[in-house]
Amino acid sequence: MKRSTTQDNVRPPGLFYKSVTSKKSAGYDSGKVSVLHCEGKDLRDLGQTHGTPLYLYSAQTLRERTRVLDTAFGNFPHTLCYAVKANSNIRLLRFLARMGCGFDVVSGGELERVLRADKRSAKRVVFSGVGKTREEIALALRSGILLFNVESPAELDVLLETASQLRIKTRMAVRVNPDVDANTHPYISTGLRQHKFGVPLEEAHSLYSRVAGHKYVNAAGVSVHIGSQITAVAPFGEAMARVAALVVQLKAAGFGIRYVDAGGGLGISYEGESTDFGTSVKYYARAVLKPLRNLDVHLLLEPGRVLIGPAGVLLTSVIYTKSNRGKDFVIVDAGMNDLLRPALYQAHHEIVPVVRDDSRKKTTVDVVGPVCEAGDFLARDRKLPQVESGDLLAVLDAGAYGTAQASNYNTRGRPAEVLVDGTRTKLIRHRESFEDLVRLEEF
């Protein structure tokens, strides 16, 4: 097979179609096909080597998006604390740690993953979440993390008590709830008063007052996070303006506020970037930074989806096609247990053929998985080129909240994961076998 140099970007810089010439086979006409590549690797070869369903990640895309986001904040003191919940693969965490990223964790397990990836990263960890247990707080104290984001008076009691018992000094910030509408899906909106997250702005002062003069816990920051998959910058600016006003008040009261944690939540376009990524993050940075000028603080950011989302692809094979009274289905080997977002959020993911042949007629189909649930779908009423059993499809923008939300429902093993860096590939998670699924059971 002879490969040409013609490329058609799908998710730059790592995912693109490359035109190829090949003998007529598998229903494709010679000279008319383009094959989807992740950097220097043909996705057909990856599917052949590792099987499907398969998650793969572009190192080049992750590297470039991290660089662009970091650059957007310029000389303002800041740290990117990657949101581990988006994708917690240890090899990916190590990759980001080597790029200088810190981490935002919401459980002891996520902290353990960060420590396994790079123990030195503990000093760049912020610990968020409404339900931190005593054991998790103790682990974080012993690990020497950067900052606790406290979300309730009861949690503060436990932090003060545990730090005193262990005689370990630490820093805290109150996560305030600014009552700002993020205009996102209700399940991933966190900044309104009806949500469980954070402390009302008007109650924050009382929590800081309880820390004043404490021997082990220092009130060092203010934190906010208003939600996820936010595609407009105005809510970020509104939230940061309210945070900035609180910082001014706290400093006037004698608190040494050094950090402002702006959270994460910057979204992506799942139907393709509508604007250049560099341009969109510049607008985001401008909205976040404007209220913080002249406050003499270090900014903490918690990007997750915006970094890893477009870097990931879920590769899946067509098992069957079928029709039910005029309704057409493409049944694939990836299901809701592999990618939950469509079923949980009715989320849209672009799905494209790995081998693209413009001569194939497009039809409207539901792309569904093998799980025994009517909600097991990857796409509904989607126009796709006609496919046959054995064809490969690629589900795009699957790097965030794909494997992180995967399960073993229907006793299905979770997919393997592969990191692609140029022409090199690294298996970063083995496919689960049946023995893996029953290892902890007594029978």
Angstrom distance (rounded) from CA 93 to CA 99: 10
Residue with tokens 């969109």: 280
- What does the alpha-carbon distance between residue 293 and residue 250 come to, in Å, rounded to a whole number? 16
Torsions phi, psi of 252, nearest 5? -65, -30
**Coil, helix or strand for 319?**
strand
Q: Quick check: 373 and 387 in contact, CB under 8 A?
A: no
Contact 255, 206 (CB under 8 A): no
DSSP sequence for 193-219: TTSSSSEEHHHHHHHHHHHTT-SSEEE
Tokens matching residue 428: 């970063």
Give me the active site residues, please: 372
Angle CA 113–81–15, to nearest 5: 85
Backbone torsions φ then ψ of 271, nearest 5 degrees: -105, 20
The residue to which tokens 């404490």 are assigned: 214
8-state DSSP, 320:
E
- What does the block give as tokens for 105? 């964790």
Please give the structure tokens belonging to residue 379. Answer: 């796409």
DSSP state, residue 192: S
What whole-number distance in Å separates Cα of residue 79 and Cα of residue 301? Answer: 6
Task: Provide DSSP, 60-102.
Answer: HHHHHHHHHHHHHTTTS-EEEEEEGGG---HHHHHHHHHTT-E
Q: What is the C-alpha separation between 72 and 306, in angstroms, rounded? A: 14
**Tokens found for residue 387:** 């496919």
